[in-house]
Amino acid sequence: MILVVAEQQAGNLRKSSYELLSAAQNLSQNLSLPVAALVIGGASSEQAAKTLSQHVVTVYHVTSTDLENFRSDSHTSIVSQIAKDKGASIILLSASRAGLAYAPRVAMRLDAPLLEDVTGLNVQDGKISATRLSYLSRVTETVEALSLPVVISVKPNIFPVFEGQVAGTVENVEVALSNTDLRVKVGQKSSAATGRVALEEASIVVTGGRGVGSAEGFAKLVEPLADSLNAGVGATRAVVDAGWRPYAEQVGQTGKSVAPNLYVALAVSGAVQHLSGMNRSKHIVAINKDADAPIFKVCDYGIVGDVNEVVPALRSALAALD
Amino acid sequence: MIDFSLSDEQRQFQALARDFAKDVIMPVASKHDQEESFPHEVIAKAHELGLLNVIIPEKAGGLGLGMLDEVIIGEELAYGCMGIYSILMASELGITPILVGGSEEQQKRFLAPLLEKPSLAAFALSEPDNGSDAAAMKTRASFEGDEIILNGNKMWITNGGLAEVTVVFASTDPSLKHKGTVAVVVPKDTPGFSYQKIHHKMGQRAAHTAELIFDNVRVPKSNMLGGLGDGFKIAMKTLDKTRIPVAAGSVGLARRALDEAKNYAAERKAFGKSINSFQALQFKMADMKIGIETARLQTLYAAWLVDTGQAHSEASSIAKCYASDMAFDAANETIQIHGGYGYVGEYPVEKLLRDIKLNQIYEGTNEIQRVVIAKHVIDS
Amino acid sequence: MKIACIIKQVPDAEARIKAAGGAVDLEGVTFVIDGMDEYGVEQALRLREGGLDAEIFVLALGPKRFEEAIRTALAMGADRAIHLEGDMALDPISQAKILAQVIQKEGAELVFVGGKEADWDSAALGAALAEALGWAFSDWTTEMGVEGSSLTLTHDTDDGSETLSFNLPAVISTQQGLNEPRYPTLPNIMKAKRKPVDKVNLSELASAGKTQVLKQEIQSKERRHTILTGDAQEAASKLVQLLRQEAKVI
C-alpha cells in the first residue's frame, strides 16, 4: 500500500496534498499498489479527511485535541504506527518544514530508507528511485532506495495537482499517544500570514532584493505587484538580515524553497544561495538595473531597469489587461 | 628539500585574513579612500581577531608569528585594500626595530602594552629633505644626564602621531655619519612631540601619513635601542625584513586587479561576444597571472630566508621591487581592460593604480632596491 | 553538561561545482565548514559564555578533509573533537545511527546540528539523530535559552514561527538568524593546534547504507533569456504580453 500523509490546516487540505496524490497515482500504476491517505489533526481535520475521501478510496483519520499543534514527535508515532499496521510499503509526505522534520524520524523508526525533498520518482524492476537537488540546487541526483518500506518527502509545487474523483470513505483510527509524543510544549505562534497566499503554495511569487532599498520600498513596490498578480511575497537573505521583512519570507538555501509557475525577482542580484531556493521555478522574470546581475543568467524574461520605474509601469500594464 | 605546502595553521590564518578582507575591509575601503579617513573600526576589529601586531614575540605576550605567516596574511589583507593594509604593515614595521635592536626588557616594556587595545607602532626614518640617503639624517639626538633630547622633523610617517610607540632615528653628530646614529623609542604623548597629517595623497588614503615634529623631546636613555652608532644598522636590518610584506601586499593587490579584470571581461560584450574571447585581453590577463605567481614565489622565498635565519637582503629587495612593479602594471592593465569604466571611481580599479604607486616608493624606492641588488651582483 | 556540535565540511558557496561521469567532481573546489553548523558551534559557545558549565565537543563524520572544518570549530572555541573518518557516502539515516552511539557514549545532553547541509541539501540529520537518541527536537531554531534542564526556543514553521519548550536532552537544528558566528581569532587558531582530536575509523562503525546515489549531473533548465528593451513603459507592456501569450502564466 502507498500511504499518503496529507497536510491540512484548519480543515483545508494544503495544495501539497493533491500533489502527493499525483505522485502516489504514478507509483500505484507502476507497482500495482493501492493508495490510502492519512489525515492527522484536531477537530477541524475531519473536514479535510472528508474532502480527501472524494479523491482517495481509503482515508485514515487520526484526530485528538492533542493534535491541534503539529509536533514531530506525535506525527512520527502516528505515521509509523499506521504504516506498520496497514502495511504501507511507500510513505509519501510533503517536504514542507513539518514534513522535513518528521520524515527522517519515521524512516528511522521503521528502519526504512529516506528519499528527501524529491522532484521526481521512478520505478524500475520494482526498485524505487527519486531525483532530488543537491549542492545548493546546482546538481540533480538520482537516489535509489535499497529496501522497502521507503519514506519519501516530496518537494512542493513540482507534481501536478491530482484531479481524480472517487467515492471514498473515512476510517477513524485510534492511536494512543504517549507522554513522549507530547513532551514538546508549543507556545506562541507568530504567523507570517498577510492575507496573501503562502509562499510554497503560490503559483506566482514576487521577491524583492536589497535593491528595493527599504521596508517602505517593499510596501510601495513588491507588495502591490504581488497583490495585482495574486502572488506570494518573497525576500532575499540580505533583505531579511536588514530587518525589512520577516525570515519566514526568505527564499533560498536557509529559507523557503519554491518552484512556482512564475517567479518575479525585483532588484535581486541572484547569489547562489538565493538561486538554490528558486531555480526550479517554471518561468523566471528578472528586473534589475545592473545588467551584469547573475539573476539574468537564469531568467526567461529580463528588464534592465530601475524597479522604481518598471514596477509601476508593469502594474498599469497588468491593470490594462482586465 | 623543497616544500611549497602551507601548514594547517597557515591555511587557517589565510582563510581568516581572506574573510576579514571580504567582510570587514572591502565594504568600507572606498569610503575611507574617498573621505581620506582613518578606518578605526577596521583596526579595532583587526585587534580583536589578533591580526594586528602579529610579530610581537611570545615573551612579550604576543603571537610571535614568523615572516611567512605575516606575508600569507598580508597578501589577503591587501587584496581588500592596500591602504588599510599599510596601516597594519606599518605597525609591524614600527615593531621590527624593537625586535632587531631592543633588549628583552625593552621588548616587554614597549610591546606588551600594544596588545591590550587597538594600538599601532610607527617607524620614523625619512625626513623632509632626505629619504633614501638615510645616513644624511638631520634629526638631532643629544644626551643630558639620563635623558635623550630629540630635535628635528620626520616625513611620510605612516601611523605617525597615532602610534603608541614611534621608533625615531637620529644623529648625535653628522660628521660621524653612520656611527653617530641612534634609534630611540618615543611614546605617543611625550611633550614636544607633535604631528601634522599629510593630506591629498594620490592613493592609500585610508592610511594616515604624517610629518612628525620633535621640539626638545626628552625620553629616558633606556629608550635607546642598542647603543650609540647602532641606529643606521637597526634601520637597515629592519627594512631588509619589512620590504617583504610590501611585496606580499603588492601580490594581493595584483590578484585583486586580475580578479576585477577577469570578472569584467566575462561580463562585458563587444562585437557580439564577451571581451574575454579576445586574445589581446587574454594575454594581458595571462601576463598578470605570470607576474602574480612569480612574485608570490619570490616573496615566500624571501620570507622563508628570514624565518630560517639566512641572509635575505637581496631576496627581499628582489621581491619588493619585482612585486610592486608587477602590481603597478597589473593595475594599469586592468584599467585598460575596463576602458572608460576603469577611469572612474564606480569600479574599484582606478584606486588600485593610485594605491600601488606608493609600493614602488616606500620602504626603499625601487631604484634603491636595484642599487642593493646590483651591489650583491657586483660584490658576490 | 556536555554539548556536541555536529559539523560538516562543504564546498564554498562560490565554488564552481562540476560533474563528470555521472558524479559530482569536487577536484579543486574550496571547502569550508558548513555555515549552518557554525551557528551551532557559536550557540554552544554563547551558552557557556552565558554561564552554563559545559564541555563542548565537535563531532564530524566524513573524509579526511573534514579536519579543516574541525580545526575551524576548535579555533572558534570548542574544546575537543571526534572525527569519524572515512570516505564512504552514508545517507543521513545511517549517519544518525552512528553519531547517536558516539553521543550516548560521550554522555552529551545537548546536540547542535546544522539546519540544512550545503552539499546534500538535506535537512534530515537533526531529525534522524533526535529519533535515534529518543530526544526532543527543535528544527530551524532561531532563538534559544536554557534554564536548568529546560529549554525555550523559537523556530521557523511553515506558517511563520512558534515558541517551543521542552527538557533536555535535546537535539537542536539551526537556522540563519540564531546568531552571528564569530571568526576564529589568530590566537585561538594557534591554541586550537593543541586541542585533542580523536580519530575513529568510520568503517569500524558503519554498516551498509539505506540508499544509493545512482547519478549526479549539473542541474540545468532551459531558459529563454529574452531581455526586453525600451523605456520602462514599453518593456513592461512587452513583458505582460509575453507572460500572457508566450509563457501563458497570467
**pLDDT tens track, chain B, 380 positions:** 688 999 999 999 999 999 999 999 999 999 999 999 999 999 999 999 999 999 999 999 999 999 999 999 999 999 999 999 999 999 999 999 999 999 999 999 999 999 999 999 999 999 998 776 767 899 999 999 999 999 999 999 999 999 999 999 999 998 998 899 999 999 999 999 999 999 999 999 999 999 999 999 999 999 999 999 999 999 999 999 999 999 999 999 999 999 999 999 988 888 888 899 999 999 999 999 999 999 999 999 999 999 999 999 999 999 999 999 999 999 999 999 999 889 988 778 999 999 999 999 999 999 999 999 999 999 98
Backbone angles phi, psi at C71, to 5 degrees: -65, -35
B46 CA: distance to closest CA in chain C (Å) = 9
Contacts of C188 in chain B (CB under 8 A): 50
Contact B9 C193 (CB under 8 A): yes
CA A63 vs CA A4, A15, A35, A47, B32: distances in Å: 16, 21, 20, 11, 64
> Over chain C, what is the mean pLDDT?
95
CA of C138, closest CA in chain A: separation in Å? Answer: 9
List Cβ neighbours of C175 (8 Å cut-off, separation of 6 or more): A247, A254, C36, C39, C115, C139, C140, C141, C142, C155, C156
Q: Which residues of C fall below an 8 Å CB-CB distance to B?
A: 32, 67-68, 71-72, 75, 183-190, 193
Hey, what amino acid is at A242? A
Catalytic one among B70, B104, B363, B367? B363
**pLDDT given at position B132:** 66
pLDDT at A194 over 70: no
Does A10 have pLDDT greater than 80?
A: yes
Classify residue A199 by burial, with Cβ atoms within 10 Å: 0-12, 13-18, 19+: buried
Residue with cell 603571537: B63
**For residues B179-198, b (16+ Cβ closer than 10 Å) or e, as one string?**
bbbbbbbbeeebeebebeee
Tell me if C163 and A316 make a contact (CB, 8 A cut-off). no
Worst-scoring range by mean pLDDT, A102-106, A167-171, B268-272?
B268-272
Residue of B64, B53, B182 whose CA lies nearest to B118: B53
CA of C12 to nearest chain A CA: how many angstroms apart?
Answer: 10
Inter-chain touch C166–A9, beta carbons under 8 Å: no
Contacting residues for C85 by C-beta, under 8 A, at least 6 apart? C62, C63, C64, C66, C199, C200, C201, C202
3-state secondary structure B16-36: HHHHHHHHHHHHHHHHHHHHC
Residue B201: Cβ within 10 Å count? 18
Tens of pLDDT, residue by residue over A121-151, are 999 998 999 999 999 999 999 999 999 999 9
Interface size A-C, in CB pairs within 8 Å, comes to: 279
Whether the CB of B63 is below 8 Å from some CB of chain C: the reply is yes
Please compute Rg for chain A using Cα positions.
Answer: 21
In Å, how far are A225, B137, B180 from B174, measured between CA atoms? 79, 8, 7
Q: Choose the closest CB to C185 out of B11, B50, B65.
A: B50
Contact status, residue A229 vs residue A318, Cβ threshold 8 Å: yes
Cβ distance of B50 and C186 shorter than 8 Å: yes
From chain B, pick out residues whose CB is under 8 angstroms from the CB of C185. 16, 48-50
Cell 532599498 belongs to A213
Say yes or no for a CB contact (<8 Å) between C92 and A114: yes
Report chain B's terminal Cα–Cα distance, integer Å: 25
Does C29 touch chain A if contact means CB atoms closer than 8 Å?
Answer: no
Mutate to test the interface with B, among C14, C186, C225 (most CBs of B within 10 A): C186
Which SS3 state, helix, strand or coil, does residue B7 take?
A: coil
A302: nearest CA in chain C?
C227
Contact A284, A265 (CB under 8 A): yes
- Out of C17, C127, C166, the one facing A139 most closely (by C-beta) is C17
CB contact under 8 A, B16 and C187: no
Measured between CA atoms, the residue of chain A closest to residue C96 is A108
| Closest residue in chain A to residue C16, using alpha carbons only | A138
pLDDT band at A192 (very low <50, low <70, confident <90, very high): low
Tell me the whole-structure pTM to 2 decimals.
Answer: 0.89
For A48-80, the pLDDT digits (tens) are 999 999 999 999 999 999 999 999 999 999 999
Instruction: Name which of A21-25, B83-87, B284-288, C220-224 the model is least confident about.
Output: C220-224
In 3D space, the residue among B235, B335, B333 whose CA is nearest the CA of residue B292 turns out to be: B333
Asked if C121 and A276 come within 8 Å (Cβ–Cβ), the reply is yes
Cell 542541474 sits on residue: C219
To the query of whether residue B333 is one of the catalytic residues in this protein, the response is no
pLDDT above 70 (res C197) = yes
In 3D space, the residue among A119, A73, A78, A76 whose CA is nearest the CA of residue A95 turns out to be A119
Residues 6+ apart with CB under 8 A from B374: none
DSSP C182: P
CA nearest to C242 within chain A: A301
- Touching C (3+ Cβ pairs <8 A), the chains are A, B
Interface test with B, best of C74, C185, C189 (most B CBs within 10 A): C189
Least confidently predicted of A89-93, A201-205, C62-66: A201-205
C36 confidence band (pLDDT: 50, 70, 90): very high
Report DSSP state, residue A221. I
Give the Cα separation of A262 and A259 in Å (integer): 8
What are φ and ψ of residue A196, in 5° steps?
-90, 165
User: Which triple of cell numbers denotes residue C165?
Assistant: 519548550
Q: Which of residues 131-170 of C touch A (CB under 8 A)?
A: 131-132, 134, 136-140, 142, 152, 156-167
pLDDT score, position B255: 98
Q: Does the beta carbon of A268 lie under 8 angstroms from any beta carbon of chain C? A: no
Tell how strand A262-266 and strand A204-208 pair up. Answer: parallel
Contacts of C176 in chain A (CB under 8 A): 237, 247, 250, 254-255
Probe site for chain A from C17, C159, C166, C214 (most A CB atoms < 10 A): C159
Q: How far is C104 from chain B (nearest CA, A)?
A: 31
In chain C, which residues have their Cβ closer than 8 Å to the Cβ of A185? 164-166
C-alpha pair distances (Å), A314 with each of A205, A287, A308: 15, 11, 11
> Beta strands A169-172 and A262-266: pairing type?
unpaired
Contacts by A97-100, CB closer than 8 A, 24 or more apart: A97/C139, A97/C140, A97/C156, A97/C157, A97/C158, A98/A7, A98/A70, A98/A72, A98/C157, A98/C158, A99/A5, A99/A7, A99/A153, A100/A153, A100/C123, A100/C124, A100/C127, A100/C139
Which residue has 523566471 as its cell numbers?
A284
Rounded Cα gap, residues B266 and C9, in angstroms = 30
Residue B359 CB partners (closer than 8 Å, separation 6+): B82, B246, B249, B250, B253, B320, B323, B324, B327, B328
Q: What is the dihedral of CA A56, A58, A59, A61, to 10 degrees?
A: 180
A74 at interface of C, judged by CB pairs closer than 8 A: no
- Nearest Cβ partner for C93 among A108, A188, A296: A108
C127 touches chain A (CB under 8 A): yes
C-alpha cell at C188: 585561538
Number of helices followed by number of strands (H, E) in chain C: 6, 15
User: What whole-number distance in Å separates Cα of residue B340 and Cα of residue B119?
Assistant: 41
**In the predicted model, is pLDDT for residue A322 greater than 70?**
no
* Span C68-110, pLDDT tens digits: 999 999 999 999 999 999 998 899 999 999 999 999 999 999 9
Q: What residues of C are in contact with residue B11 (Cβ under 8 Å)?
A: 68
Q: Which of B13, B20, B48 sits opposite C189 (nearest CB)?
A: B13
**Cross-strand bridge partners of residue C19:** C24
- Nearest-by-Cβ selection for C189 from B9, B19, B48: B9
Note whether C24 contacts A: Cβ–Cβ < 8 A.
yes
Chains touching B (at least 3 CB pairs under 8 A) are C
